[in-house]
Amino acid sequence: MNINLTIIGQIIAFAFFVVFCMKYVWPPITGALAERKKKIAEGLDAADRAQRDLELAQEKAMSDMRKSKEEAAAVIEQANKRANQIVDEAKEKAREEAARLVTAAQAEIDQEANRAKEALRAQVATLVVAGAEKILEASVDADAHAQLVEKLAAEL
């Protein structure tokens, strides 16, 4: 167990290793570690952000879908309403048309009947006059008795 110069040698070697380590070993490695730590933090941040963005996008997609569903429902409802309205209008128009046709037909019928009546009346008058001529065997002045015959015909 001799204490000798080795002690000085050890101090010199120790000092050399410490200084070398301090200058050339410690800074680069801790620098790389710090940089990696920063990178990882940034990566985690980005992942968080992406997650948040994804949630937002999902929410937006959901709300968009809900909105378009509502819109579609409204359109369908409106279309139904409109269809009903069109059908109603068509019914109404048809009814009116029918009524108009019926009225027109009625009027024509009335007109025909009147015309027939008129014709009948005229023929009756002629017949009556002819009959009276036959009965009287004498010529009756048609013009002179026309008034009388008219009256008779009107009474028929």
Partner 1 sequence: MASEMTSSAYISHHLTNWTFGAHPENGLGFAHTAQEAAEMGFWAIHVDTMLWSVGLGMFFIWMFRKVAKAATSDVPGSTQNFVETIIEFVEDNVSSIFHYKNALIAPLALTIFVWIFLMNTMDLVPVDWLPFLAQKIGEAFGADPHHVYMKVVPTTDINATLGMAFAVFALILYYSIKMKGVGGFLAELAFQPLGKWLLPFNLFLEIVGLLAKPVSLALRLFGNMYAGEMIFILIALLPFWAQWLLSVPWAIFHILVITLQAFIFMVLTIVYLAMAHEDH
Residues that bind partner 1 (CB under 8 A): 1-11, 13-18, 20-22, 24-33, 35-36, 38-39
Q: Which two tokens mark 18? A: 């410490």
Shortest Å, Cβ 49 to partner 1? 21
Measured at the alpha carbon of residue 79, what is the angle toward residues 74 and 85, in degrees to the nearest 5? 130
Shortest Å, Cβ 46 to partner 1? 16
Which CB sits closer to partner 1, 25 or 75?
A: 25
Which CB sits closer to partner 1, 26 or 60?
A: 26
Shortest Å, Cβ 8 to partner 1? 7
**Calpha distance 76→20 (Å, rounded):** 82
**Calpha distance 90→83 (Å, rounded):** 10
Q: Which two tokens mark 47? A: 């992942």
Which CB sits closer to partner 1, 26 or 119?
A: 26
**Calpha distance 99→85 (Å, rounded):** 21
Which CB sits closer to partner 1, 7 or 135?
A: 7
